[in-house]
Amino acid sequence: MSDLDRAAAALEAADKVVAITGAGISAESGVPTFRGSGGLWRRYRAEDLATPEAFERNPLLVWEWYWWRRTVIADAKPNPGHLALASFERRLPAFLLLTQNVDGLHAEAGSRQVIELHGNIWRARCTAECDRRVDQRHDPSADVTKLPRCSCGALLRPDVVWFGEGLDSRALDRATLAVQSCAVLLVIGTSAIVYPVAALPAMAKRHGAAVVEVNVAETPLTSHADIVLRGPSGVVLPELERRL
Ligand code: BV8
């Protein structure tokens, strides 16, 4: 039985399936990954940009990075990998999608049961107590020369989780409960090194889940996975769906 057939059989037998995705699932949509070849991190040291200290030091530089990333993501469309996960949600008895991605492509592909653990690049939030959130997807006023401000006057920041910041506790609790009670955990397109999300697959395994990794390369998770499907998620996931 091939690994794809084994993975399909595990999905069909599962009462509950959870998927964790990272930047790799959006690579075939033209969104650069963080650490792969040609990734965002090559040209930008994320430690210099995706941190509260960086924003404190130079908010315009941080906004320029996010505005640039928005221009790349604005042209991106969901790829067959995103679409296959949206189909899993419709076809499997219980399916929850946990994503580290901030590009919003899972929702655009039709996934509804999605937890965006690292936030969403199209939202901005107030840096003051008002904590207002603003959807900037259609915000023509994103004038890239001046800093966006909340109606209360304080600076707005990208509504994403930076290094050194805690994830939303309710979202992380939901994600933790889900991986502790699923029969199969799909881990797709992530280098599996950013915590606390990188701790979830081991937690799932401890609670009896079968872990299936979908990646073009080896990661720290590979040796712990029950099934490894080596290949681009835009090819592997539709292949998996065809076997259901
Ligand atoms: C926190 C959002 C504490 C913003 C991001 C040691 C132990 C534990 C923790 C730490 C530690 N050292 C440092 C830490 C803390 C740190 C951390 O984990 N650092 C890492 C680098 C070691 N974690 C944090 O700071 C987290 N917060 O710990 O806070 C705390 C707690 C309570 C209260 C206060 C404080 C916050 C982490 C979130 C940071 N935010 N992004 C933005 O996007 O700008 S991280 C960033 O990395 C993205 O979210 C991204 O999703 C995430 C993970 O990267 P990947 O998605 O995996 O992407 P990557 O490029 O790395 O890999 C792509 C993969 O796809 C590769 O494997 C590649 O082979 C594969 N691929 C490529 N093409 C394809 C493919 N696969 C399939 N198909 C393809 N076609």
Region 168-193: mean pLDDT is 98
138 flagged as catalytic: no
Q: Is 189 in the pocket of ligand 1 (CB under 6 A)?
A: yes
Catalytic residue among 82, 106, 118, 138: 118
Other beta carbons less than 10 A from residue 177's beta carbon? 11
* Tens-digit pLDDT profile for residues 57-78: 999 989 988 998 999 999 999 9
- Nearest alpha carbon to residue 231 among 37, 10, 25: 25
**Section 139-159 average pLDDT:** 84
Ligand 1 touching residue 215 (CB < 6 A): yes
Q: Model confidence over 91-141: pLDDT tens digits?
A: 999 999 999 999 999 999 999 999 999 999 999 999 998 889 999 988 755
Q: Which residues contact 50 (CB under 8 A, 6 or more apart)?
A: 160, 162, 163
Could you tell me if the CB of 35 is within 6 A of ligand 1?
yes
- Long-range CB contact pairs, 35-41, < 8 A, 24+: 35/191, 35/193, 36/217, 40/69
